[in-house]
Amino acid sequence: MTKVIIIDDKTYTISNEERYSVEEELVFEIRQGRDYQFVIGMWNDILGLPVRKVWKIVGISSKS
């Protein structure tokens, strides 16, 4: 599945269908009670947080 999200005025196209490497930045869907938020980071930056899903960044564009 591919989806488009906006984080800090940048539009990210993300996918959960592609393989990813632990050396690249990823988008993590983090549980916040009943809600969730998206966080960008390296694989080991997010250790210990309640990760719901991991997404690979397949495209970035700045919001104009």
Q: What is the pLDDT of residue 63?
A: 62
pTM, 2 dp: 0.72
The domain segmentation of the chain, as residue ranges, is: 2-62
Q: What is the pLDDT of residue 13?
A: 92
Q: What is the pLDDT of residues 1-11, one digit of tens each?
A: 888 998 888 99
- Across 31-60, b (16+ Cβ under 10 Å) vs e yields eeeeeeebebeeeeebeeeeeeeebbbeee
Q: What is the pLDDT of residues 2-57, one digit of tens each?
A: 889 988 889 999 998 878 777 888 999 998 888 888 989 988 888 788 888 888 99
Q: What is the pLDDT of residue 4?
A: 93
Phi–psi pair at 46, nearest 5 degrees:
-105, 5
Question: 64: which 2 tokens?
Answer: 């104009």
Largest alpha-carbon pair distance within the chain? Answer: 35
